Amino acid sequence: MSNTVIRPDGQAIKLQDLDPRLDPWAEIERLRREKNAIILAHYYQDGEIQDMADFVGDSLDLSRKAAATDADMIVFCGVRFMAEVAKILSPGKTVVLPDADAGCSLEEACQPDDFARFRAEHPDHLAITYINCSAAVKAQSDIIVTSSNAEYIINQLPKKQPILFAPDRHLGAYLAQKTNRDMLLWEGTCIVHDQFSEHEMVKLKARHPNAPIAAHPECHDGILSHADHIGSTKGILDFVVGSPANEFIIATERHIIHQMEKAAPGKTFHAAPGSDGSCNCADCPFMGMNTLEKVYLAMLNSAPRIEIPEDLRLRALKPLEKMLEMSPRPDAVTQAAE
C-alpha cells in the first residue's frame, strides 16, 4: 500500500505529512470544481468514498460513465484495471487512481505472457475475457465482459463457437452452465469471493431462514448452489431493493452493504462468512487501499496517473468496444437470477 504520493514535479508527499486540520471533504469539493473532475467509485469502496463520489456503480456502468464524461479529470476510486478501462475509453482525460498499488488478484493471476501461450495453444477459440484483467491481456482478447453482461454477450455467439474464458474460473464455470457451452477456463480466482465458506454459510442461513442469499458469480459453487439470486454488484443491489424480504445474506464484498442500507433503509444485511465464521474475509484489500486522504492528494497532484502506450490502448480498445456494442441497453441490463 502506497503511503507516499509523488507529485509530477518529483516532490514526494507522505500521508503523515498532511496537515491534520485539513478537511479532505472540503478540499476534494474545491478540487472537483477547479479541475473539472468527476469522481467515479465502485460499490466496494469505503462508504465515505461512495458518499462523495459523483457516481457509484458496477464495472459496466463505471465504464460507460468514463466513456461518456466531459470532465477533464477522472478520479477512479476502484482498482487499477478499472482506471485503465477509463483511460482506454477516454484517452484525452487525466485518469488518476488514489493508490497506485490497488490491483486485483484476478489481474495478478493472468500474466500477459502466460495468456499469450494459452491463446496460441487454442487458435480456434474465441477469447472472452472478464474485465478484471490488465490492459495487456485485454489487448489479446476478442471480447471483454463484465458480470452483468457476460451471459447476454455469450448467448449472441454461435453455439458451436469454442470459447476460452479468463481469468475467473468460478465466473467461467457459472457462465458455461448458464449458457450451456463448453468453455476452457483460466485458473484465476478472486481472493474475496473464493474465501466464503459453504459450511459457515449454511450455519448463517439456519440462523436467518427468511433471508434470501444474494451472491456474486465470482463465488465458488459451494456458495452459488445456495443462492436465491446470482448477479453483478448492481444486480444484487437491485434484487435487495425490489425483494419483499426484509433481511438478506450478501455474498460479495461487504462495502456494497453501505449502498444497500441507503437504497433500502430498514432492511437488514448479513455479510457472507469466511471459514472462521467472521466476515473480515468479505473485505477486498485492494479496494481498501484507497482512502479519502489519497483521493485528495491524487486530485491535488494529478497523480498517480494512468498512462497506457497508444498502440496497446488501441489494441485493448477493440474488445472493449465490442463489449459495449454487444451489451444490453443501459436501462435494459438484466441480471442472471436463479
Q: Which residues lie near ligand SF4 (CB under 6 A)?
A: 44, 79, 104-106, 132, 190-192, 218, 253, 284, 286-287
Contact 115, 137 (CB under 8 A): yes
Q: Which residue has the cell 483460466?
A: 186
Contact 26, 62 (CB under 8 A): no
Q: Which residue has the cell 488518476?
A: 96
- With CB under 6 A as the rule, give the number of residues binding ligand 13P: 13
CA 312 to chain centre: 22
> Closer CB to ligand SF4, residue 27 or residue 253?
253
Over its C-alpha atoms, the chain yields an Rg (Å, rounded) of 20
Residue 283 identity: D
> Closer CB to ligand 13P, residue 211 or residue 284?
284
Q: Are strands 12-14 and 4-6 parallel, antiparallel or unpaired?
A: antiparallel
Name the binder of 105 from ligand 13P, ligand SF4, none, CB < 5-8 A by kind: ligand SF4
Contact 299, 119 (CB under 8 A): no
Interface residue with ligand 13P, options 134, 147, 189, 302 (CB under 6 A)? 147
List strands edge to edge, sheet with 94-96: 55-57, 37-42, 73-77, 94-96
Interface residue with ligand 13P, options 50, 90, 129, 132 (CB under 6 A)? 132
Q: Which span (3-11, 140-148, 170-178, 275-283) binds ligand 13P, by CB under 6 A? A: 140-148
C-alpha cell at 56: 457509484
Q: Quickly count: other Cβ atoms within 10 Å of residue 26's Cβ.
A: 10
C-alpha cell at 109: 493471476
Name the binder of 233 from ligand 13P, ligand SF4, none, CB < 5-8 A by kind: ligand 13P
> Closer CB to ligand 13P, residue 90 or residue 132?
132
- x/- contact string, 222-261, with ligand 13P (CB under 6 A)? ----------xx----------------------------
Interface residue with ligand 13P, options 140, 146, 149, 327 (CB under 6 A)? 146
H or E stretch including 171?
Answer: helix 169-179
Q: Which span (58-66, 157-165, 303-311, 320-328) binds ligand 13P, by CB under 6 A? A: 58-66
Q: Quickly count: other Cβ atoms within 10 Å of residue 300's Cβ.
A: 18
DSSP 279: S
Name the binder of 59 from ligand SF4, ligand 13P, none, CB < 5-8 A by kind: ligand 13P
Phi, psi torsion values for 247, nearest 5 degrees? -140, 155
Q: Is residue 45 a contact point for ligand 13P (CB under 6 A)?
A: no
Phi, psi torsion values for 248, nearest 5 degrees? -145, 155
Residue 36's region, left for phi above 0, alpha for psi from -120 to 50, else beta, is left
Question: Which residues, 173 to 212, sit near ligand 13P by CB under 6 A?
Answer: 190
CB of 160 to ligand 13P, least distance (A): 28
CB of 142 to ligand SF4, least distance (A): 21
Interface residue with ligand 13P, options 58, 84, 107, 293 (CB under 6 A)? 58
List strands edge to edge, sheet with 229-230: 229-230, 213-215, 247-251, 268-271
Name the binder of 146 from ligand 13P, ligand SF4, none, CB < 5-8 A by kind: ligand 13P
> Closer CB to ligand SF4, residue 107 or residue 200?
107
Interface residues toward ligand 13P, by CB under 6 A: 42, 58-60, 132, 146-148, 190, 216, 218, 232-233
